[in-house]
Chain A
Amino acid sequence: MDLVTLAPRATPDERAAVDVVLGAPVGRWDGGERADPEGGHVASGGHAARERRHLLLPVLHAIQERVGWISRPALEYACRRLSIPPADAYGVARFYGLFSTTLRPPIVAHVCDDIACRLAGAEDVCADLGRALGPAGEPALDGEATWLRSPCLGRCERAPAALFTVAGTLPETIAAAPVDAAGIVTRLERTAAGRRLVPAPTDTEPDEERLANVRRSVPQAGGPGLRILRRVGVTDPRSLDDYLATGGYRGLRRAMEIGREAVIAEVTASGLLGRGGAAFPTGRKWAAVAAQPGQPHYTVCNADESEPGTFKDRVLMEEDPYAIVEAMTIEGFATGSAHGFLYIRAEYPLSAARMAHALATARAAGYIGADILGSGVAFDIEIRRGAGAYVCGEETALFNSIEGKRGEPRNKPPFPVEVGLFGRPTAVNNIETLVNIPGIVADGGAAFAALGTQGSRGPKLFCISGSVPGPGVYEVEFGASLGDLIALAGGVTPGRALRAVLLGGAAGVFMGPDSLDLPLTFEATRAAGATLGSGVVMVFDQTADLVGTLRRVAAFFRDESCGQCVPCRVGTVRQEELLARLANGRPNGSVADELALLADLGLAMRDASICGLGQFASSAIESAVRAGLVAFAGHGEARA
């Protein structure tokens, strides 16, 4: 491609960051030196370079982490290396919240102000930070550091949370929760003074400390009867031996014995439905991919857990990473795919580290690779990191992101089982879904199907947060009611009354206090006009600012809309403005007019948006209004 790159030369740091990912350039056509002028006419590897387009996000991460932002010279160097037009790559860089294309201090605190953290006082934290450091995004501490507001960081059980990123030759990304403003400022100051964020990543912390952290996130840890969570807090997630000693790789071994058709038959028989939110039968998905003629097929694991209030996949990746590796390997074997991608959101540094360790050790032991357990079957997994975009949790947006593009969802059909990653048949599953797989294959689908209810088989994880004494990830057999779940977490905070529950996340629905008997199954929630979504159960007591929460939900969707389709791009803006008017008691016309307009917007977004983000952007807000959980007053009226 005849690229036009006009910026001056990238700095040695910037070039080095890119070269770490891509290797050294060959010649001037890919951004290197014009060492061999006679050969300067040979555009070597044009095709080869373009086939590496999918490395754009890793390269942008490398620049961001090394320098703290992506300058035009750095971007253009990356473009030369990958044969990508600079405008195109700029469009990609500007899509993701964690990339900056303007100068940004090397040390950044990303402070979560999303729903659960808001309930835990995140707005106060932000206000304090504003006083201590100046407005969000402005350089502080002599230009060394800054702070930014962040959408949900997936640490709702220990809210409020923050994520620290430090750019440099030894970049760091560390999540912390709970945090307060003073603690954040101290960390930034210590880091700016040249010290590392913490003595070392939490992965080397003593077992007792690690286990204490696990028990705080998973109060049931080590308890009896757990299936999905059975290794959490029991085994060392960094030990393949521990994994093997607790039944690890029984599933893969049986899969190889019984063959791919039988594996798919077991998964189908289990009745397992996808846990990512869409509840599609996993067996049917696998069978469809396996039946696609031609190669390659791809296996993708969606670990872009970004639904506000959700943190179960993070816990599974941190505490049972080998189960995910084994499950993806079984899936690859069953669907005829040799290449898997594990797409983890960038806000989960420990998850990525644990998964990378598990992959490396599993590969060394022959559990993944060119010849798995001497069977001749080949399967390997590559980790890809998101870069701050909720919409990439939508499977086709996730494909685009892996391919090095803007995370814009694709129109469906065609569905991923036919046209998925790189345009090939692709099986994409969520982490929780996959963790069920080794057991299903090892013990048979029937055993799994025996658990739960008619329409909802097996065990299920829920992420409980908000006004409860014991927030965390909880496992129950399908059939437990909303009240059962809240009781598991210790009930509503003592002395407080239940006002509402947000079920399913920001894209879910608000339930009133009269819904405690609702069984949390696919069929019962569907019948109630609700959804399980990603398994979020967020508890609001009578002191919660529900209108403020709705405004945050509206703001979240406005922030996270990819901007592709009109109903979502503009509809989310209008929805947020409308809520602001209602909250401020300044409706256009009557409150009823505004609520009618809200319903009109909701219907159009639901009916005409390309993907689930727009389709469900009004869901929680409309449900709260419908259930009478919030009330608005018109001009001069008292608020009800």
Chain B
Amino acid sequence: MSSEIAHIFSEPPARSTRIPGPPPVPAPAAVELTIDGRTVSVPAGATILDACRAESIHIPTLCFLENLTPVNACRVCVVEVAGARTLVPACSRPVEAGMTVQTASERVRHSRRLVLELLASSVDLSTAPGVADMLAEYGADPARFGPAAPPAQAGERDARQPGHHHVPDGAASATVAQPVKVDNELFVRDYAKCILCYKCVEACGVDAQNTFAIAVAGRGFDAHISTEYDTPLPASACVYCGNCIGVCPTGALMFRSEHEMRAAGTWDEAAQSRTDTICPYCGVGCTLTLHVQQGAIVKVTSPLDASITEGHLCVKGRFGFTFVGSGGDGG
């Protein structure tokens, strides 16, 4: 080491006199609007959902998640904006000055109820957190559409081409029921529980992982989440980060261990503790929430508000925990 720079290695560096941070951005102008008769002021660029949350006005959401780009596909968050011909999705519609919003009008409640009935009549929502409460709140009665049709065979729904379909007789209502896809050791894909919220596609794509192993294929009611040519995950681009599991609102995507414990009747969320810690692998420092049941980690998630990766993990962080509690003799 040349002596002229030796001081770098022996003396503490001089301190900055200013605290470094991002360049200042001008605060957005305040926008005033009316929500449910209340005058509300929020920063320009905020969505109606942001404004409602700031006012503690509850808006139900399914396809919305803080760490993903809103796709406003589920339409359960619709609200009524004065002057608009149709209802608008609160999750993605930016506020405008003078806007008058109703979040619980008869029209709003009607559409939310129908959206929930349509979903519940076509999708298995039994492991979707919070949906039972929503159905109750809106008085949704999915049975109005009649009995459910029998489940499709494995691969049958994936194979449907866009265009003409088999004309129904209406005796039973079509569903997305089909066998669960189990093609790897780490997680299962139970598309009978898929509401097609696009979140997994976003998490696999530019919103988190940039792997693009899955996309929406097919059209209309036959649209489904798919790898290319419905190839099994081990023959796809999947890197098993499990970020799709992390964002799935219905439990369609699930740790294989949870899936098997549920099947065996041993899954007991009430008996589980949740502890936040830091991933034991690389230097990124992702926060892991360890779900522990009877002294064993049964699932790993990551909080959406963890600043480093906003809830997203890699394959090691999400699945590579089995070395604790497993015993063994070293690598």
Contact = CB atoms under 8 A, between A and B. Distances in A.
In the complex, A touching B (Cβ < 8 A)? yes
Interface of A: 1, 3-4, 6, 72, 75-76, 85-91, 94-97, 100-102, 113, 136-137, 148-151, 388-389, 406, 411, 413, 551, 555, 558-567, 569-574, 576-582, 584, 586, 588, 597, 600-601, 603-604, 606-610, 615
Contacts of A551: 167
Contact of A586 (B114, B118, B171): B171
B215 interface: yes
Contacts of B72: 411, 565, 610
B316 interface: no
Contact of B226 (A3, A91, A555, A569): A91
Contacts of A597: 144-145
Nearest to B77: A608
A4 B237 contact: yes
A46 to B, nearest CB: 13
Interface of B: 71-76, 78, 86-87, 89, 92-94, 107, 110-111, 113-115, 118-119, 121-122, 144-146, 159, 161-165, 167-171, 173-174, 195-196, 205, 211-223, 226-229, 231, 235-237
Contacts of B218: 94-95, 563
A565 B73 contact: yes
Contacts of A569: 196, 220-221, 223
Contact of A566 (B93, B119, B145, B164): B119
B159 A577 contact: no
Contact of A94 (B111, B162, B196): B162
A573 B74 contact: no
A569 to B, nearest CB: 6
A581 B171 contact: yes
B254 to A, nearest CB: 20
Contacts of A75: 228-229
Contacts of A560: 219-220
Nearest to A90: B228
A101 to B, nearest CB: 7
A11 B217 CA distance: 24
Contacts, number: 221
Contact of B170 (A555, A584, A615): A584
A608 B75 contact: yes
26 contacts: A72-B231, A86-B237, A87-B214, A88-B212, A90-B227, A94-B217, A94-B226, A150-B163, A150-B164, A151-B163, A555-B164, A559-B163, A559-B219, A560-B219, A567-B75, A572-B220, A573-B122, A573-B173, A576-B168, A577-B173, A582-B170, A584-B169, A601-B114, A604-B113, A607-B87, A607-B110
Contacts of B221: 558, 561, 563, 569-570, 572-573
B168 A87 contact: no
Contacts of A91: 215-217, 226
Contact of A567 (B114, B159, B215): B114
Given A562-B220, A569-B221, A608 B114 contact: yes
A610 B88 CA distance: 9
Contacts of A411: 72, 89, 92-93
A88 B237 CA distance: 11
Given A94-B218, A606-B86, A87 B170 contact: no
A604 B213 contact: no
Contacts of A609: 75, 86
Given A90-B226, A388-B162, A615-B86, A607 B111 contact: yes
A148 B162 CA distance: 12
A409 to B, nearest CB: 11
A427 B199 CA distance: 31
Contact of A97 (B107, B114, B163, B171): B163
Query: Which of A411, A560, A562, A566 has the most chain B CB atoms inside 10 A of its CB?
Result: A566
Given A555-B165, A609-B75, A563 B219 contact: yes
Given A578-B170, A579-B170, A559 B228 contact: no
A573 B223 CA distance: 13
Contacts of A558: 165, 220-221
A615 to B, nearest CB: 6
Contacts of A85: 211-213, 215, 237
B115 A563 contact: no
Contacts of A561: 219-221
B147 to A, nearest CB: 9
A597 B165 CA distance: 23
A86 B216 CA distance: 12
B165 A600 contact: no
Contact of A101 (B93, B145, B167, B229): B229
Nearest to A91: B215
Contact of B115 (A151, A564, A567): A567
A72 B227 CA distance: 11
Query: Which of B92, B119, B169 has the most chain A CB atoms inside 10 A of its CB?
Result: B169
Given A72-B229, A90-B226, A604 B217 contact: no
Contacts of B214: 87
A413 B119 CA distance: 26
B73 A6 contact: no
Given A411-B72, A411-B92, A609-B75, A94 B219 contact: yes
A573 B222 CA distance: 10
Nearest to A94: B217
A72 B219 CA distance: 19
A90 B219 contact: no
Nearest to B92: A411
A262 to B, nearest CB: 32
Contact of B119 (A86, A90, A570): A570
Nearest to A564: B73
A87 B121 contact: no
A90 B121 contact: no
Contacts of B226: 87, 90-91, 94
B215 A88 contact: yes
Given A149-B163, A576-B168, A577-B145, 18 more contacts: A72-B229, A85-B212, A87-B237, A97-B163, A101-B229, A102-B161, A136-B164, A411-B89, A411-B93, A563-B196, A564-B73, A570-B122, A574-B121, A603-B111, A607-B78, A607-B110, A609-B86, A610-B75
A548 to B, nearest CB: 10
B89 A389 contact: no
Contacts of A96: 162
B173 A574 contact: yes
Contacts of A615: 86
A583 B170 CA distance: 10
Given A572-B221, A604-B111, A148 B163 contact: yes
B167 A580 contact: yes
Contacts of B119: 566, 570
Nearest to A597: B144
B163 A86 contact: no
Given A85-B237, A561-B220, A580 B168 contact: yes
B146 A86 contact: no
A90 B214 CA distance: 9
A89 B227 CA distance: 10
Contact of B111 (A1, A149, A406, A608): A608
Contacts of A588: 144-146
B191 to A, nearest CB: 14
A604 B78 CA distance: 11
Nearest to B163: A97
B220 A600 contact: no
A13 B92 CA distance: 45
Nearest to B85: A615
A573 B159 CA distance: 18
